[in-house]
Amino acid sequence: MLQAIGLTSTPRRNGPPAVRDLSLEALPGRVTALLGAAGSGKTTALRLMLELEPGRGLTYYRGRLLHQVAHPGHEVGVLLGDVPGHPSRTVRGQLRMLCAAVGVPVSRADEMIEAVGLTGVHDLRLGGLPLGMDRRLGLACALLGDPHTLLLDEPGAGLAARENLWLYELLHAHAHSGGTVLFTTADPKEAARNADRVLTLDTGRLAADQDAAEFARTRLRPRVVVRTPHAARLAAVLNQEARAARRSVEVVPEGGSRLSVYGTDCAAVGDTAFRHGVLVHRLTDESGDTGAPPADDPSTPAPVPAGTDPAPSGPAPSDPASAVPRQAPRRERRPARAPRHPVRYEVRRLLGLPSTWLAAAATLVVSVVLAVLLARGGGTPVPVAVAGWPELSPLPPAALGAGLLGALAFGDEYRHPALTSGRGVVPRRLGLLVAKLAVSGTVALLLGVLTVVVDIEVLRLVYGGDLIPVPKNWPSLSASWLGLAVGCAWAGVLGAGVFRATAAGVAAVLAVPVAVVPALRAVLTRVPTRPVAGLPARLRELLPTQWPSAGDRWLDGVLRVVGQPVGMALVLSLATLLGAYLLTGLRRRARW
């Protein structure tokens, strides 16, 4: 059961709130329609229920608030508009990625693909899906965690009749299995035809709460729809015969060749057209909306005196949680939950995009070309040639590629959000940040090692093995090289996470050699420094247990790498970005 109590959105600028003191129920085993014209507050009401909109009020899902549910994906399935996601990701890749976010086995993706009829198109890209397939994918995403409640915002808008029929058959099947379904629509006929219960929303308030049969009887009336090239002539004839027979018939021209005739049936209209020789292209019975519910409609809530709070319509909530005071405290927006398996989610997110493989391939190609050109003259040091690092470039291609892939970790999330129900924010949880840092660091290590190996083999192939000797200090060079790649990747992750853009992450990577290193060198040249020789031995004396002697060499190597201007600049930049990331996350949490 879904129970919403006193939902009120934050007032809009120079206008009233979109939703005002809205209370409603959606019962399990039934499909409930939230009907309202454009601007009536339907979408805002759903976002308030999902705690994605600032305002007041409470929404209970089987007696629990949404932020009290340990795993929301198993309780609520959401479809708000089109399916968000990177347009280059495949249907199966999108669902497999979301399986890690929801916390279900990856086999669930194939089950949902088959359930919604996408078996033959599972390798299509999201950017090329037609509307019907996009809506099927949206339902597959909503049903991925087998939720009890489904919240859908105008799911049938723009669909063909066949797709529309399939959609509501699926929703009724979910309701018949014991689930709760609430969908919004602006079409009264769609609500009457596909819902078991219709809640009418008018200017942010609940105007009526009716069963579908009662709604159709009180809000819809039968009409005859006629299409004819002689609409004006047929309208005049129908009005003339109605006056002569003293029958209450209303003829409403609807533009062009279409007429709506109320108070009669198809047979009478067809007979009149035949007698007067009027050509008819279409003649059918339909139902039309009569507008807002009448004042004497027993299902319409009674007017409420000014200064009082209206009682919620419909049956009284049976759950004890509904006994909350009507004036609920201001809603506190909480950060959206991170994926249940963040590392698995991040790996699937990264490997499911063609841009990842293109960036890695471009990095290898550029590095190989630069390495061959640098080694051609013979005067370039071997480490510089192997890294493919010319003097005119602030960073080698491997470090730039690692930084770009790191920046995409958060840049893609903000540009094509797929984690939250509202698809508007990325959860700023520590687990997701650690997962992105771990995966991007691992990718940077692999890219750095692969670049060096490929460059060395190509140089040996082109110039021979004798001309490419192995330096004696290769361990420290390797540590510096891999540390540079990992540091650039982490700078890209944190920069994009703080400023919510891929370009900002790349700028954070380039800022290290372009701005931070020169400034740091200028400071170090003016300030006298003291050596830290013997620090590993002094640290060993402070610790209760002794580490192996090899640990001294490793720690000394790390200190030498960090003590270099580039290493020190990377450490300072990463510390600053990490602090900014945590600070912005805490500030948003406090403001929400």
CATH number at residue 16: 3.40.50.300
DSSP output for 209-258: EEEHHHHHHHHEEEEEEEE-TTHHHHHHHHHHHHHHHT---EEEE-STTE
End residue of a domain, out of 218, 240, 262: 218
Residues 369 and 516 in one domain: yes
Residue 75: HSE in the Cβ half-sphere, 13 Å Cα cutoff: 16
How far is 418 from 413, CA to CA, in rounded Å?
7
pLDDT values of the chain reduced to their tens digit, one per residue, 592 residues: 899 999 999 887 777 899 999 999 999 999 999 999 988 999 999 999 988 888 999 999 999 998 888 888 899 999 988 777 889 999 999 999 999 999 999 999 999 999 999 988 889 999 889 988 999 999 999 999 999 999 999 999 888 889 999 999 999 999 999 999 999 999 998 999 999 999 999 989 999 999 998 888 777 777 888 999 999 999 999 999 988 888 888 888 887 888 988 888 899 999 999 999 999 999 988 766 655 454 444 444 433 333 333 333 333 333 433 333 333 444 444 545 678 899 999 999 999 999 999 999 999 999 999 999 988 877 788 888 888 988 888 899 999 999 999 999 999 888 888 776 444 457 777 888 999 999 999 999 999 999 999 999 998 888 887 666 777 777 778 888 888 899 999 999 999 999 989 999 999 999 988 888 777 677 656 656 555 555 556 666 666 666 665 555 555 555 555 556 677 788 888 999 999 988 887 555 433 3
Domain count across the chain: 3
Residue of 56, 58, 63, 71 whose CA lies nearest to 20: 56
Structure tokens at 17: 């709130």
Structure tokens at 274: 């035949």
Residues 134 and 267 in one domain: no
Residues near 545 by Cβ (< 8 Å), separated by ≥ 6? Answer: none
- Residue 209 is predicted with a pLDDT of 92
| Domain membership flag for residue 296 | no
| Domain membership flag for residue 225 | yes
Residues 107 and 248 in one domain: no
**Neighbour order of strands in the sheet with 250-253:** 250-253, 258-262, 220-227, 282-289
Residues 52 and 167 in one domain: yes
Residues 43 and 151 in one domain: yes
| Domain membership flag for residue 146 | yes
Boundaries of domain holding 415: 342-591
Measured over the CA atoms of residue 273, residue 277, residue 283 and residue 288, the dihedral's sign is negative
Residues 262 and 247 in one domain: yes
| Domain membership flag for residue 81 | yes
Residues near 97 by Cβ (< 8 Å), separated by ≥ 6? Answer: 89, 345, 348, 349, 352, 418
Is residue 475 within 8 A of residue 356, CB to CB? The reply is no
Using CA atoms, how far residue 415 sits from 52, 335, 404, 423, in Å, is 18, 18, 15, 10
Residue of 58, 54, 51 whose CA lies nearest to 21: 58
Residues 142 and 244 in one domain: no
Residues 198 and 262 in one domain: no
Strand partners, 59: 4
| Domain membership flag for residue 324 | no
pTM: 0.76
End residue of a domain, out of 218, 249, 269: 218
End residue of a domain, out of 171, 202, 218: 218
Residues 211 and 229 in one domain: no
Residues 208 and 253 in one domain: no
Q: Report the relative pairing of strands 76-80 and 149-153 from DSSP bridges.
A: parallel
- Residue 413 is predicted with a pLDDT of 87
- Residue 335 is predicted with a pLDDT of 43
Q: What is the CATH number of the domain that holds 226?
A: 3.30.70.980
| Domain membership flag for residue 336 | no
Residues 123 and 238 in one domain: no
Is residue 208 within 8 A of residue 194, CB to CB? The reply is no
What ranges make up the beta strands (E) of 301-385? none
Residues 144 and 193 in one domain: yes
Q: Report the relative pairing of strands 258-262 and 250-253 from DSSP bridges.
A: antiparallel
